Amino acid sequence: MLSKNSIKFINALQKKKFRQKYNNFLVEGDKMVLEILTNHQFKIHSIYAVADWLDDNAPLLTRHRDKITAISERELKTISNLTTPNRVLCILEIPNAKLDDKRIAESLSLVLDNIQDPGNMGSILRTADWFGIEHVFCLQCVDVYNPKVVQATMGAFLRVRTIQTDAEAIFERWNELPVYGTFLNGTSIYESKLNSKGFIVIGNEGRGIRPEIEPFISHKIKIPAYGKAESLNAAVATGIVCATFKLGLVMS
């Protein structure tokens, strides 16, 4: 049964200040929670689920029995962020992202500058996961543990390391790596020499890359337009850029 204190605690995690205060965040849905239970990467704080879900997944829950609360579908609706709740809600501890310096130095990483839309952030993390990009650095972006972001990642947050940081911490630490940034006045990405390692900077949905970040960019690139649209969605642009990098590397 769901207590009033539990409801208050879970609902509080919808807000960033309480996620930071308690160092916890929410995950909903069968697929993501089952992946959490099988990969053991995140530390589980608690699980709230309806009886049939608990019965269906009993073998995976043995080591977490002291963290499980059986609830009704009505109770699930009081704590769910979804229009149609999906049988289970899990609370996880926010991890301390561990940087793999060697992998960063030898591969491509994304740097997101002031991305604010939760849907865009989630889609970008899915894109990074799809193209095997292991590290995503976030500069003044929407919180990656916002429930809407987590939901939009479709589980990618479990596999992609996200780091909230500042530009100097990245580009001064790995100052030997090329830094690609998307600009309207850049060189066509299809005519640019693309490296297999370095950073790809994606700017804000409406304003692009901030002026204070521009000095760190060593290669200005653009996706050429063939129609009359004024701009591309940030998540769509990220997908095109990542695909072009990967295709270029395969063909080089």
- Enter the tokens of residue 40: 């053991």
Domain check: are 21 and 133 in the same one?
no
Domain check: are 228 and 147 in the same one?
yes
The domain tally of the chain equals 2
Domain check: are 155 and 192 in the same one?
yes
Apex CA 82: angle with CA 79 and CA 85, to 5°? 75
Of 42, 58, 93, which one is at a domain's C-terminal end? 93
Report the C-alpha gap between 161 and 246 in whole angstroms: 19
Q: Do 1 and 71 form a contact (C-beta atoms < 8 A)? A: yes
Domain check: are 132 and 236 in the same one?
yes
Domain check: are 108 and 161 in the same one?
yes
Domain span including residue 200 = 101-251
Tell me what pLDDT residue 241 has: 96
Tell me what pLDDT residue 250 has: 38
State the CATH number of the domain containing residue 58: 3.30.1330.30
User: Other CB atoms closer than 10 Å to residue 67's CB: what's the count?
Assistant: 14
Tell me what pLDDT residue 251 has: 40
Beta-ladder partners of 182: 221
Report the C-alpha gap between 115 and 209 in whole angstroms: 10
Domain check: are 52 and 176 in the same one?
no
Helical ranges in 107-233 per DSSP H: 118-130, 147-153, 167-171
Q: Which residue bears the tokens 């049964």?
A: 1
Domain check: are 124 and 222 in the same one?
yes
Tell me what pLDDT residue 97 has: 79
pLDDT digits (tens, 9 = 90+) for 113-137: 999 999 999 999 999 999 999 999 9
The ranges of the chain with pLDDT < 50 are: 249-252
Domain check: are 200 and 105 in the same one?
yes
Domain check: are 111 and 147 in the same one?
yes
Domain check: are 62 and 80 in the same one?
yes
Closest CA to 110 of 43, 46, 168, 181: 181
Report the C-alpha gap between 90 and 18 in whole angstroms: 16
pLDDT digits (tens, 9 = 90+) for 37-76: 998 789 999 999 999 999 999 999 999 999 999 999 999 9
